[in-house]
Structure 1
């Protein structure tokens, strides 16, 4: 089997390369007997360390989803090399000690809450997001991330202070399920590594908190990404260097579900309005209309 030009153009490795990488990963786990102890090294999910890195991500916004006016782009910015384990185990660094920026991706654009014309079914607009593309298949089956041995998700970012959400999608029975948490940035305008416990993520569907709040299926993670849902018109800019799983505890206070950006005690009427990303693109279901299932 050969990779198609389209897949190669998007920065995805070939089927043979994916199979070899997966074999190397599984063999390394067996040789190091990682199942017998807690991993100390970080587990990269997305590293923006090469010009083709943004091609492994999918961009979403009003404009791309239903003809709205919010725009978004993800572009590569060259910089210092990424170094696994810099500043201690369980962390990815690079660039801080030299006083230069690390190689990263710039997520930028503008938010507009103006509704598209001739689309009466669209009730709300004003979102932008990116997520990693599906990793495809290998000789070992569908490629998913197994981050079950890790306790935290870490992101090395430089924020503009707006309200971004971190989104994790797993191989769930319900394809619209997302696990979301507010991106807790403490020093806007400066590079920082923020850490979120996987246990603090909130299960949502179309941006609405759903019950029961089951634990995330960390053995089968499909994608990770970031969305902007504050619906405040104007420009935005977020720089991302790395997204990785780790067992290194956060240096600042540990965030929990109460810091997720969702009001878990809201009443039924408030819950119907939604608070996350996906409710911006899915109109309320009319009486008698069958439930929509995304594939």
Structure 2
């Protein structure tokens, strides 16, 4: 039964009379496959003859050209493999990372403690005691007892402090040697304390003699417990103090001429204390963009 005759039958007879469902499908001619399927399209640039060669016939088997291609691709492969280890300015990434972090003081032997000095109010008649030794893990171990009872001299009203401070580094002919931290913006310490708050004091080279007691100060809060604590303090947080009093006029820390760093305890909580320091270093924190944390106002602004 041909398709035109089937289409004129009633619906019921049409369904009952169809045994082959393919009769309802239109005959679709198979797509004509071109003779040259592997060749490019028949487009030809004006002025050029048509190239009917097969693709593999157009390959130029040149040995030296192949060697140059191998060199080129192996060079690209080498660059692809080494790029993750190359930092800015073409420096190795490890060297670049070392430039962003610097350990200034670390304690790996008894000789490393020779560059530090400790003091307390016992030197002026107080009763506090402070000691410095090398810890079991080759760390700086500062310990002692804080006593805020003033000496009975009839003059001193307040007492109770313990401090540790680095000695002034000297160059040849006993010249002062300064630390240049201008490439960094954060102080990095690894410590383990007993929960007491400390003061970090940084001394810089001053231009006038009356500034010799000026220190840049900030707080160090220890957690206590057996775990080490990594502390990062931006240099923009440090403020100027003079013999324990905060200056009215503040300005950022001068990082190009750092002399010493120290730690002071004076929280008036009498009793034993301890502070363990693994290292003291500086680092570059790109997430910190603050120049100075304290906004200054003119005391007598002119109208």
TM bucket, shorter chain: 0.5 to 0.7
Note if 1:45 corresponds to 2:104. yes
- The residue correspondences of 1:103-122 to structure 2 (distance < 5 A) are 103-117=138-152, 119-122=153-156
Alignment partner, residue 71 of structure 1: 129
2:233 corresponds to which of 159, 177, 196: 196
Higher helix proportion: 2
TM-score of the superposed pair, with normalisation by structure 1: 0.61
| Unpaired stretches in structure 1, ≥5 consecutive residues | 1-31, 80-102, 259-263, 265-295
What SS does structure 1 have at the residue aligned with 2:110? coil
Contact 1:39 1:247 in 2 (8 A): no
What SS does structure 2 have at the residue aligned with 1:40? helix
What SS does structure 1 have at the residue aligned with 2:196? coil
Q: CA 1:224–1:67 in structure 2 vs 1: closer, same or farther (change >3 Å)?
A: same
- The residue correspondences of 1:218-237 to structure 2 (distance < 5 A) are 218-237=255-274
Contact 1:152 1:249 in 2 (8 A): no
- The residue correspondences of 1:234-273 to structure 2 (distance < 5 A) are 234-248=271-285
Q: CA 1:186–1:134 in structure 2 vs 1: closer, same or farther (change >3 Å)?
A: same
Deviation sequence 1:199-228 (CA, Å, 0-9, x none): 001111111110211111111111011111
Aligned equivalents of 1:194 and 1:249: distance in 2?
A: 16
Aligned equivalents of 1:250 and 1:166: distance in 2?
A: 23
Coordinate RMSD, CA, aligned: 2.8
Q: Which has the larger radius of gyration?
A: 2
Alignment partner, residue 160 of structure 1: 194
Contact 1:185 1:194 in 2 (8 A): no
Contact 2:194 2:224 in 1 (8 A): no
Aligned equivalents of 2:166 and 2:287: distance in 1?
A: 24
Q: Which has the higher contact order (CA 8 A, sep 6+)?
A: 1
Q: Return the offset for 1:51.
A: 1.4
Contact 2:194 2:222 in 1 (8 A): no
Aligned equivalents of 2:293 and 2:266: distance in 1?
A: 18
Q: How many residues align?
A: 197
What SS does structure 2 have at the residue aligned with 1:135? coil
- The residue correspondences of 1:83-232 to structure 2 (distance < 5 A) are 103-117=138-152, 119-138=153-172, 141-172=175-206, 173=208, 174-186=211-223, 188-232=225-269
TM-score of the superposed pair, with normalisation by structure 2: 0.59
What SS does structure 2 have at the residue aligned with 1:182? strand
What SS does structure 2 have at the residue aligned with 1:231? coil
| Unpaired stretches in structure 2, ≥5 consecutive residues | 1-90, 297-303
Alignment partner, residue 287 of structure 1: none
